[in-house]
């Protein structure tokens, strides 16, 4: 009996879905889907395994079904998957954050003010 379900996109994959290797051996279950759905970017999965949480990159995810995810590796290879790490902090920068007011800027601005007064552009 094939209980995979229908093929689906990562966007509707649910936590707890069974995960197997390409050899048919059970690896664990989906703990979290890592994606930016707005930008349609699938980064990978966090798996709940008997060895603890593991990260599998999107390129290593094979077929996704409603009740099963098949990885592009065997269960033995999956044991060597890395533990997930914290995402790097996101930083929102403005132009003022990345440009610095240097001494040259102050001299240029002062010269511009002097020129504007001399030329009548004030």
Dist CA 78 CA 72 (whole Å): 9
Q: Does the structure show a pLDDT above 90 at 106?
A: no
Which helix (H) or strand (E) segment is 118 a member of? helix 103-119
- pTM more than 0.85: no
Return the biggest CA–CA distance within the chain: 89
- Return all residues near 9 (Cβ < 8 A) that are at least 6 apart: 64
Tell me, which fold does domain 10-78 have in CATH? SH3 type barrels. (2.30.30)
Q: Work out the average pLDDT over 82-105.
A: 64
Residue 64's CB is within 10 A of a number of other CB atoms, namely 23
Task: Break the chain into its structural domains and give their ranges.
Answer: 10-78
3-state DSSP assignment of residue 17? coil
CA torsion sign, 103 to 109 to 113 to 118?
positive
- 8: its two tokens: 């689906």
pLDDT digit string (tens) for 20-50?
999 999 999 999 999 987 888 999 999 999 9
Share of residues in the chain with pLDDT > 70 (%): 82
> Concatenated DSSP letters for 73-107?
S-HHHHTTPPPP-PPPPP----HHHH----HHHHH
């Amino acid at each position: 009996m094939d209980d995979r379900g229908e093929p689906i996109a990562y966007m509707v994959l649910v936590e707890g879905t069974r995960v197997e290797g390409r050899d048919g051996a059970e690896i664990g279950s989906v703990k979290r889907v890592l994606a930016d759905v707005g930008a349609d970017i699938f980064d990978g999965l966090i798996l709940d395994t008997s060895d603890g949480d593991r990260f599998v990159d999107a390129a290593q995810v094979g077929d996704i079904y409603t009740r099963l995810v098949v990885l592009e590796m065997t269960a033995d290879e999956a044991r060597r998957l890395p533990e997930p790490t914290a995402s790097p902090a996101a930083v929102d920068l403005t132009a003022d954050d990345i440009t610095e007011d240097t001494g040259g800027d102050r001299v240029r601005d002062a010269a511009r003010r002097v020129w504007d007064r001399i030329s009548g552009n004030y």
